[in-house]
Amino acid sequence: MNDRKPIVAQSTPKGTGALALIRISGEDAFTVFLQIVMQTERFKNAPPRKISLYTLMDHEKKKVLDEVTAIKYTSPRSFTGENMIEIICHGGEVIIREIINALIKNGAQQASRGAFTRRALENGKIDLLKAEAIQGIIESTNEPDRLCAQRMYDGKINALLSVKDTILKVQTELDAEIEFGEEERISDTRESGRETILRIISDLEKEIRLREKITNLIGGIRIIITGPTNAGKSTLFNTILGFQRALVHHEPGTTRDMVSERMLIDDHEIKLIDCAGIRETSNDVERQGIIISRSAINTAHLILWVTAANETLSENEKQEIKANVFGKRAIGIINKCDIEDGASKVAIFKEEGITHCLISLKQGKNVDSLLTIVKKEIDFISSSIEMPEILLNKRFEELGKKIMLDLLKADKEWNRTEIAAHYLKKAYSHFEEIFGANNNEEILNRIFDNFCIGK
């Protein structure tokens, strides 16, 4: 058997499912698979890329492992470029583990993170940027991040290439000045070169801010339900989720800790948060809860301020509304309109320019209109995130920051041409990490360490 053992891993997520996919790749993948398959002739004669039914056996234990289907891919026409098999088995954790163990017992090895993609890279089936793009597509939890990964997958990295070429051009001009400088031309070239570098700095700054916004969306758009105690916040939380997640009680101060759930609203990933109602309290636990609420309000994308129609608006609540929602996206929700009409509370939201809604969660009154307003806000938040064009993933972002720092240093030293040229060279060298990483073991390890197992 070949020195390099075939690799095996589950490619579907861990946990129980109806079906699971196990992949095995390597020159001897077929030999290993044949050790655990009952229908050996069927597998040997199976045409590549066609699915067939097999019984898998642990011959040593004389035990049937599972009835599976499997697809055979013959080198080089596979994802990795090697002989490969995709086994679709039943999705029980024990079955998956036993099949993988049986393959390992017969000559395979457990694949490390990103091992399949790494082999595809080594075999020239894929380039590094595409490999990163695939990982990005798998990992993205929001639309802008997925679109960035898709753009990278499609090879649309012209904006980054243009930054790279421009830095080189300016640096070459500075080098020429150092060598053959003529006084008049020097100052012209130097000034236009500096303008170009300043433009790149400003583009990179903008891109870094855009990436921060995307990173801030990881885990979903954060919607926090807050307001005074006993207003119906937890009731609203449960209503939006569609099940009883948080405790609801007539006693004020019921919710203390932060309770959150992830959900999809119109295909947008949302993190919905319920927390302690805001009030003056002597109870230390409740006070801690209120501190947590305040910090969650600060990082939320959307605030749902819930207040009860039958409670008079206190000076305290007025101040809280002003302090917590000012400059943020928020909806004022006047609940319990089955008890009172809530008209007296409309003014404060109007004053602050906050969209408001009068509802009764108890009677289900106006809840649909509230949800429509919430969906509009979600659409706005999601669509207001501009797509980066240069820094398409986290790694590019990190390199973009390094490039920008060196360009800033070059700008500072612009009149000392040799030093400026040195920093431009340094800025340019960071592109080596992006485009010349194929043969750099250390960079490859760093990149693939972030991949999932089975990819």
Ligand X SMILES: Nc1nc2c(ncn2[C@@H]2O[C@H](COP(=O)(O)OP(=O)(O)OP(=O)(O)O)[C@@H](O)[C@H]2O)c(=O)[nH]1
Q: Mask: binding to Mg ion, 253-272, rule CB under 5 A, as x and -?
A: -xx-----------------
Q: Toward Mg ion, which CB reaches closer, 228 or 400?
A: 228
Write down the least CB distance from residue 215 to ligand X, Å: 31
Mask of contacts with ligand X, 186-225, x by CB under 6 A? ----------------------------------------
Site membership for Mg ion, residue 10 (CB under 5 A): no
CB distance 276 to 292 below 8 Å = yes
Question: Closest CB to ligand X among 151 and 356?
Answer: 356
By CB under 6 A, tell whether 338 contacts ligand X. Answer: yes
198: partner contacted, choices ligand X, Mg ion, none (Cβ within 5-8 A by kind): none
> Is residue 235 within the footprint of ligand X (CB under 6 A)?
yes
How many residues make contact with ligand X (CB under 6 A)?
A: 22
Q: Which of 277, 289, 332, 454 binds ligand X (CB under 6 A)?
A: 277
Q: Would you say 271 or 336 has its CB closer to ligand X?
A: 336
| Binders of ligand X in range 382-411 (CB under 6 A) | none
Q: Which residue, 19 or 339, has its beta carbon nearer to ligand X?
A: 339
Query: For residue 331, how many other CB atoms are within 10 A of its CB?
Result: 21
Interaction residues for ligand X, span 362-381 (CB under 6 A): 362
Binds Mg ion by CB under 5 A, chosen from 10, 83, 140, 234:
234
Select from 36-44, 135-143, 246-254, 366-374 the region that touches Mg ion (CB under 5 A): 246-254
Nearer to ligand X, 98 or 317 (CB): 317
Under the binding rule (CB under 6 A), the answer on residue 185 touching ligand X is no
- Shortest Cβ distance from residue 373 to ligand X (Å)? 17
Does residue 361 interact with ligand X by CB under 6 A? yes
Under the rule (CB under 5 A), what is the footprint of Mg ion?
A: 233-234, 254-255
